[in-house]
Structure 1
Amino acid sequence: MRTPPIVTLPEWEAARERLLVREKEMTRARDALAAERRRMPWLPVEKDYSFETRNGEATLLDLFEGRRQLIVYRAFFEPGVFGWPDHACRGCSLVADQVAHPAHLNARDTTLAFVSRAPQSDIERLKTRMSWPVIPWHTITDDFDKDFNVDEWHGTNAFIRDGNQIYRTYFINNRGDEAMGSTWSYLDITALGRQEEWEDSPQDYPQTRPYEWWNWHDEYSDAEVSEGWLAKIAESGAITPASQPTPDKDKKDDAGQPGCRCSD
């Protein structure tokens, strides 16, 4: 293998700083792209769709679980897929392995769901074997996959609802799915985004201050923990009652968010 040059620490740091300029440009470009997604037109979903869930039959509206947004990944686990019946598609399994705890998405009024054509008994067996217990994973029973461009290949659809009316807001597939898994990557493809005040979003979109909604995934309902966290970030200087960080403040990082010091 032909390796890069071997250098001193100052030379290495100089090389990293040069590359960091381009990385920051990429971060800003990614934020700008997410802002464009939040301005995408919405496509009404006119058909009714039915799924089998671990709790019985459900509609697409039911999959929102009462939240405003829904992200649906079409995973291939069914007869005819390589690995059946012991495993799902290797690529889809890699995606599932990367998924962060859904509680963080839920805290942003967003539900994540996987859907496949395998029966629920097989899906539950697979989730147990592969240690994916927290991913809601449902069975497609109609033309949902065909209608949303995921009948022959994986893909991720984003939806939003206004009351009972559902709209399709975005879709990614192919290499776009490679980046999925983190809370941030999922939120960045939704119509409402991360819902933090530093974001460039249309007027009156729901937004809160950075950090204040973050919590441990098992304690989002614990008000005392949330109050303690607000006190901690105020103490760190990341957020103060009198000064709300914005994307043009010096203390922000290059994702647009203010710096955070969380250690004791």
Structure 2
Amino acid sequence: MTASAENRSGHPAMHTPPVVSPREWEAAREKLLVKEKANTRARDALAAERRRMPWMAVDKAYAFEGPEGKVSLLDLFDGRRQLIVYRAFYEPGVYGWPDHACRGCSMVADQVAHVAHLNARDTTLVFVSRAPQADIARLKARMGWKMPWYTVTDSFDADFGVDEWHGTNVFIRDGGRLFRTYFVDNRGDEQMGGTWNYLDITPLGRQEVWEDSPEGYPQTPPYQWWNWHDSYVAGAAPDRKWVEVSDAGEAAMRHQDAKP
């Protein structure tokens, strides 16, 4: 018997999977888990390849408007080494203006995790649009968004592949020199928002010792750098008690991951 055979909710009938015993359900889950682990490892390998992509020098000067006035692309890094820029469509002519940004861009904004975790990995996330700062501030207050959001004033979006629809660019700086390292749009872009997805598109990655990264890349033990988003302190050593907890958790997960 299928679940749809007992559907009395008034919804259209669906051809659903069979209803099975707990033992049969667990067996089906274990079978699928093999493929899920393979997918995770393939995703890690793709991120490792992404970290080896060539860099493109950014020599043109770009200007933005921020809450405190005019800023450069370098300023958007806010002193950090990596920068992720999402071009959101909020401007005259966009459906929803001036009360709302594009619905798709707004859904992306709703998914953004607390940026303190990215900041702890030397990474800054910003949104940019062509709307004036007063409108952006009003929109952020209305929607409860906290990420930095700047106004594009030149050809930045067109030069980096996002003069329409949406897209995410990634940059890294070496002193005052800037480089474009990655770009994603379309369905690859719609999944962004979580800390791990963002870090996986950066040239330095998650910066954890298990990652396959080029020699000399910054890496620390996994989990130990994690903190409450209001408790990160630059340069602070990991909390000793949390190190014990995270080490035990890592050992347990290694054991689980070793299962076929």
Q: TM-score, with normalisation over the residues of structure 1? A: 0.88
1:69 equivalent in alignment to 2:73: no
1:171 equivalent in alignment to 2:154: no
Pick the aligned partner of 1:91 from 94, 98, 104.
Answer: 104
**Structure-1 separation of matches of 2:219 and 2:80:** 16
Pick the aligned partner of 1:192 from 185, 201, 204.
Answer: 204
Pick the aligned partner of 2:224 from 196, 201, 212.
Answer: 212
**Structure-2 separation of matches of 1:224 and 1:190:** 24
Which residue of structure 2 lines up, in the alignment, with residue 258 of structure 1? none
Which residue of structure 1 lines up, in the alignment, with residue 60 of structure 2? 47
Residue 33 of structure 1: how far off its partner (Å): 0.3
1:156 equivalent in alignment to 2:160: no
SS in 1 for 2:246: helix
Which residue of structure 2 lines up, in the alignment, with residue 221 of structure 1? 233
Residue 251 of structure 1: how far off its partner (Å): 3.4
Pick the aligned partner of 1:82 from 95, 100, 110.
Answer: 95
Residue 225 of structure 1: how far off its partner (Å): 7.3
In the TM superposition, 1:13-32 aligns within 5 A as: 13-32=26-45
Residue 177 of structure 1: how far off its partner (Å): 1.0
**Structure-1 separation of matches of 2:51 and 2:66:** 30
SS in 2 for 1:198: coil
**Structure-2 separation of matches of 1:145 and 1:238:** 41
Which residue of structure 2 lines up, in the alignment, with residue 104 of structure 1? 117
Q: TM-score, with normalisation over the residues of structure 2? A: 0.89
**Structure-2 separation of matches of 1:237 and 1:126:** 41
**Structure-2 separation of matches of 1:219 and 1:194:** 19
**Structure-2 separation of matches of 1:14 and 1:251:** 19
**Structure-2 separation of matches of 1:224 and 1:37:** 29
**Structure-2 separation of matches of 1:90 and 1:207:** 37
SS in 2 for 1:203: coil
Which residue of structure 1 lines up, in the alignment, with residue 11 of structure 2? none
Residue 145 of structure 1: how far off its partner (Å): 0.4
Q: Give the letter aligned to residue 62 of structure 2.
A: Y
Is the CA contact 1:219–1:225 (under 8 Å) kept in the aligned structure 2?
no
**Structure-2 separation of matches of 1:95 and 1:226:** 33
Residue 227 of structure 1: how far off its partner (Å): 3.5
Query: Structure 1's 237 and 153: CA in aligned 2 closer, same or farther, altered over 3 A?
Result: closer
Query: Structure 1's 164 and 196: CA in aligned 2 closer, same or farther, altered over 3 A?
Result: same
SS in 2 for 1:251: helix
Number of residue pairs matched by the alignment: 244
1:251 equivalent in alignment to 2:255: yes
**Structure-2 separation of matches of 1:73 and 1:48:** 18
Pick the aligned partner of 1:202 from 198, 214, 221.
Answer: 214
**Structure-1 separation of matches of 2:231 and 2:256:** 27
Query: Structure 1's 237 and 9: CA in aligned 2 closer, same or farther, altered over 3 A?
Result: closer
Pick the aligned partner of 2:157 from 134, 141, 145.
Answer: 145
Residue 224 of structure 1: how far off its partner (Å): 8.1
**Structure-1 separation of matches of 2:256 and 2:119:** 26
> Tell me, which stretches of 5 or more residues in structure 2 are unaligned?
1-13
Q: Give the letter aligned to residue 132 of structure 2.
A: P
Is the CA contact 2:224–2:238 (under 8 Å) kept in the aligned structure 1?
no
> Tell me, which stretches of 5 or more residues in structure 1 are unaligned?
240-244, 255-264
User: Who wins on radius of gyration, i.e. which is larger?
Assistant: 2
Is the CA contact 2:57–2:179 (under 8 Å) kept in the aligned structure 1?
yes
